[in-house]
């Protein structure tokens, strides 16, 4: 596993994380609602990070269904900001089947995308979810630290953390959205948005197409919050294309591989 540093996490403009619970969504076709688990906490994940219960509390309070603030947390299809398939009516951090989870209930819209998504849920074709977020606060924990044993006792997969010999405890994230996935969950944004390819020309053309779509939305007076999130996604795709995907076969504690140019500065200076 490639060990990332705090700067690596905080430089991710739009991180995604697939759920690992296997919780089956409950569908009420009469009310057009879906009850689901968007993410499971205390799972040692691909980057060696662990989302802690309470990490979404501030986001839910500020931009959850009960908030009067703009830019509310969205329910999307495959992290596509153009496909808001449902309206979150309830988002909470709670315990289900003994697991600490991010629990949500969504009303499926009567749009074509919403109707198709409801049908897929009802037929069992959607059984994976993922969240889109920013890392805000995280703490590095090693076996020698006082918190190590306490955290291990809470982990769903403690053996993975022991093998790696470290973990990042994430106590706060900024939650943007949760998504229904047509495929398998992943911790990279590029597969969902059609950019992952070994062909540089394909990568370039896909990014240009997304920039063009964003420019069109800006000229037509699109929703500001959505356009800002689209910009974050484009930055994240650039980040992922120039940073290696963590590989479980890599040597633990191996330092992150760096690209040949200053990627953090490039992303920081990138403006639509």
162: left (phi over 0), alpha (psi -120 to 50) or beta: alpha
Question: 254-272 pLDDT, tens per residue?
Answer: 344 444 445 455 555 555 5
User: CA–CA separation, 51 vs 8, rounded Å?
Assistant: 16
User: CA–CA separation, 16 vs 129, rounded Å?
Assistant: 10
> How would you class 266 by CB atoms within 10 Å of its CB: exposed for 0-12, middle for 13-18, buried for 19 or more?
middle
b or e along 33-54 (b: 16 or more beta carbons within 10 Å of the residue's beta carbon)? bbebbbbbbbbbbbbbbbbbbe
The whole-number pLDDT of residue 71 equals 84
Q: Which two tokens stand for residue 223?
A: 């929703």
The whole-number pLDDT of residue 258 equals 43
The whole-number pLDDT of residue 3 equals 81
The whole-number pLDDT of residue 179 equals 95
Q: Which two tokens stand for residue 269?
A: 């200076």
In the chain, which stretches have pLDDT less than 50? 248-261, 263
Question: 128-180 pLDDT, tens per residue?
Answer: 999 999 999 999 999 988 899 999 999 999 999 999 999 999 999 999 999 99
């Amino acid at each position: 596993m490639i060990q990332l540093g705090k700067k690596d996490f905080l430089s991710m403009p739009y991180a995604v994380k697939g759920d690992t619970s296997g919780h089956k969504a409950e569908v009420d076709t009469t009310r057009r609602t879906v009850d689901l688990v968007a993410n499971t906490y205390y799972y040692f994940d691909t980057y060696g990070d662990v989302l802690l219960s309470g990490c979404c509390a501030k986001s839910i309070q500020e931009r959850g269904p009960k908030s009067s603030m703009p830019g509310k947390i969205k329910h999307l299809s495959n992290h596509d900001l153009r496909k808001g398939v449902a309206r979150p009516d309830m988002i909470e951090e709670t315990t289900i089947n003994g697991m600490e989870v991010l629990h949500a209930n969504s009303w499926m819209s009567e749009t074509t995308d919403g109707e198709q998504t409801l049908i897929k849920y009802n037929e069992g074709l959607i059984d994976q979810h993922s969240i889109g977020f920013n890392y805000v606060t995280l703490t590095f924990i090693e076996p020698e630290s006082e918190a190590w044993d306490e955290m291990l006792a809470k982990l769903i997969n403690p053996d993975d953390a022991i093998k790696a010999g470290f973990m990042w405890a994430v106590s706060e994230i900024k939650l943007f959205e949760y998504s229904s996935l047509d495929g398998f969950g992943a911790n990279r944004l590029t597969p969902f948005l059609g950019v992952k390819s070994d062909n540089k020309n394909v990568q370039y053309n896909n990014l240009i197409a997304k920039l063009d779509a964003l420019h069109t939305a800006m000229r037509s007076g699109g929703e500001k919050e959505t356009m800002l999130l689209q910009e974050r996604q484009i930055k994240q795709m650039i980040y992922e294309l120039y940073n290696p995907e963590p590989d479980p076969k890599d040597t633990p504690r191996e330092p992150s591989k760096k690209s040949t140019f200053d990627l953090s500065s490039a992303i920081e200076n990138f403006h639509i």
